[in-house]
A and B are shown apart, each in its own frame.
Chain A
C-alpha cells in the first residue's frame, strides 16, 4: 500500500534515511520492549520506506516505544529507528481527536509518589 504524501511527511519529521538500513535486525534484537509490540523497530523502518504506513498508524506499538534510544545507539548503520516510530506516532496524534491521553484520565492514575516528570513526558508522547 502506497501513501506517498504521508510517507514524505513522516520522512521529514523523522529526519533520517531508511535506505541506510542493511536489515540486520540489531534494533529489534536490542529493543527492551519488543515483546509488547506488534510492529518492531526494524519493521517501522522498512514499512515507512515502503509506504506501508496505515497498519502502523492503527497499531498499539506506537505507544509502546519507550524512546530509550537503544536502537539508535546500537544500529551499525546509524539508521535511527526510534525516529521513524516517533514520526509515525506524531502523524497519528497530530490528527484531530487522536489524543491518547486526556487530563480527565489523570486523577485516577496519580499515586502518592508519581513524579511530575511522568505526567509531563506522557503528555508529550501521547497527546498534542
Chain B
C-alpha cells in the first residue's frame, strides 16, 4: 500500500511526534507514505468565503500533484485534512471556484477534484483495518482509560468530510480498542477547543478546552488523544496540573506496536 503523504507545516516543526510516528507506524503496518514533493502550506483554516480564490490555490497545487502522480493523498494533521478535503470538494462541485482556480493555475489538465483525500485514521480503518492492527499490537494499552478528542476539523462539515457520524463518532474509539485501551465516551469530544482564538484571547481556549477536559475527566478519562496540533496546544495548557495526559494518536499506535 503506497500513498502520497502531506505532512503540513506544524508536523515539520512543533508536532514532530505526530509526523515521526505516523511514518514509523505506517511502515510497520505495511503502508508506505511517500512525502509529496514541494508541498505547500494549506493555510491552516479552510477559506470559507466563496470568492476566496487565492487562499485555495496552495491546496489545489497539492491536489493536482497527487492526481498527476496517480495516488491518494494522505494527511495526518486534522487541520490540513479539513482544508485540503474541503477545497477538493469545492473543485469537484463548485463551478465558480473551479473555473477561477484553473484559470490561475493553468494546469495541463484542468483539475476537477479527482484526488482522493484520506486521513491516516481512515487509512488505518478502511485500508489496513483495525483487526489487522489489533493482531500487530505487541504492547497493548490494557487498562488505560483514554478519551478520544475529535474536535471540529475531522468531523465538520460532515457532508464534505464524510469521516464519521459528526455527533456520535466511533473511529478513534474503535482505534483505541484495537490498541487494547478502554475508550471513554464523553459528550464534549466533538466540541471546539478554542482554536485560533488562542492568539489574542486566552479566555476562549481556557473555557473551551477546560470544558472538554472536565467532561472527559468526569466520565473517567485519564488521557486524551488527538490528531490536531492546535487542539494539542490548547488542551495541554488546560491539562497542566490535572494529571490528564494528552497525546497524538500516532504516538499511542507506536507505543502499542512497540516502536516508540
Interface residue ranges of B190-237 to A (CB < 8 Å): 191-192, 194-201, 203-204, 208, 211, 228-230, 232-233, 236
Q: Helix, strand, loop or mixed for chain A's interface?
A: helix
Q: Is the CB of A68 within 8 A of B152?
A: yes
Q: Which residues of A contact B100 (CB under 8 A)?
A: none
**Within the complex, which residue of A63, A115, A120 is in contact with B233, where a contact is CB–CB below 8 Å?**
A115
The interface centre, meaning the residue of B14, B157, B199 with most chain A CB atoms within 10 A of its CB, is B199
Interface residue ranges of B8-26 to A (CB < 8 Å): 8-10, 13-15
Q: Is the CB of A70 within 8 A of B191?
A: yes
Q: Is the CB of B10 within 8 A of A73?
A: no
Task: Using CB atoms, name the residue of chain A closest to B192.
Answer: A68
Q: Is the CB of B236 within 8 A of A113?
A: yes
Task: Using CB atoms, name the residue of chain A closest to B212.
Answer: A32
Q: Is the CB of B191 within 8 A of A122?
A: no
Q: Which residues of B contact A72 (CB under 8 A)?
A: 156-157
Q: Is the CB of A124 within 8 A of B44?
A: yes
Q: Is the CB of B195 within 8 A of A124?
A: no
B187 within 8 A of A: no
A-side residues, CB < 8 A to B, are 12-15, 32-33, 36, 63-64, 66-70, 72-73, 82-83, 86-87, 90, 101, 109, 113-126
With A33-B208, A66-B204, A70-B192 given, name 16 new contacts (CB 8 A): A13-B52, A14-B50, A36-B204, A64-B197, A66-B192, A66-B194, A66-B197, A70-B191, A82-B48, A115-B229, A115-B232, A116-B14, A117-B10, A118-B199, A119-B44, A124-B44
